[in-house]
Amino acid sequence: MAKRPQPQKDDMAADTALEQRSIQSVVIGFRLVAALEGAGGPTTLKELAAAAGLPPSRAHAYLASLRLVGLVTQDGEGGRYDLGPRALSLGMAALRRLDVREVAQAAMRQFRDSTGESVHLSVWSGQTPVIISRLDGHRGGSLAIRLGVALPLARTASGRIFATFLPEAGRLVAQQIPAEQIEAVRQAGLAVSDGMLNAGFAAISVPVFDEAGELAAAITTLGVAGHLDIAPDGATARALRATGEAASRALGHGLRRG
């Protein structure tokens, strides 16, 4: 049987060089995409080239290819460049793949470590919020809570967050929570409970929003009444608001471009 011809060294070197050039082209192309991302709006060729560390003529060649695949768009011949529809759709697809439980962990851990209080995350189950993640507190009076617990809408801080910011949940308790209380939660950006479900327990809860501005979850701290500072303008409430905002940003809230 005849032996198959072996690749010549020159051929192998040429293939390796081509592969390296191709990989380098991808890297350079995404330097321009990253420059557009950081620009925050339509940008000139000169500004983009400078941000990416490229001569304008070379940047122009790469931008032409990126336009062909929809990653970049240009406002007329010689006009400013911006992220194209493919870049935006890729970003939205990545955001949709985010798991709110995983995304919220860093913000929840920061809250627990800075305050010593326990904190848990709840999501909508179709009828009621359900706790899916928790971090137990360090300070005396903080409480552990079981995963999988269903939370009443009207009688818990977490439930009132869903009743306020999720229309489906709000309709379920429309006759149980006065409209002015719902509006107070909306204005404050948090809900507080003090013995509403069980005497001696208090809680503060804040919303977590996704990239579409819809409620994705509630983050709640729960403790013994008198140990947990539930003042809406207190240090614990401020820290929990910051936690909800950080988790929302991690889910892409506020990052959509008009």
Do both 15 and 118 map to the same domain? no
Do both 51 and 156 map to the same domain? no
Q: What percent of the chain has pLDDT over 90?
A: 36
- Kindly report, residue by residue over 144-189, the tens digit of the pLDDT: 577 888 888 998 999 999 999 999 999 988 889 999 999 999 999 9
Do both 39 and 115 map to the same domain? no
Question: What three-state secondary structure class fits 234?
Answer: coil
Total number of domains constituting the chain: 2
Q: Show the tokens assigned to 66.
A: 């990126």
Do both 89 and 108 map to the same domain? no
Q: 49: domain CATH number?
A: 1.10.10.10
DSSP 178: -
Do both 158 and 102 map to the same domain? yes
100: Cα within 13 Å, side-chain hemisphere: 24
- Kindly report, residue by residue over 249-258, the tens digit of the pLDDT: 998 887 654 4
Q: 113: domain CATH number?
A: 3.30.450.40
Q: What's the rounded Cα separation, in Å, for the pair 123 and 114?
A: 24
- Tell me what pLDDT residue 22 has: 54
pTM score:
0.64
| Structural domain range at position 145 | 98-250
- Beta strands (DSSP E) in the chain are 72-74, 81-83, 119-124, 129-135, 191-194, 201-209, 215-224
What's the pLDDT band for 19 if we cut at 50, 70, 90?
very low
Q: What's the rounded Cα separation, in Å, for the pair 156 and 205?
A: 9
Q: What's the rounded Cα separation, in Å, for the pair 144 and 118?
A: 7
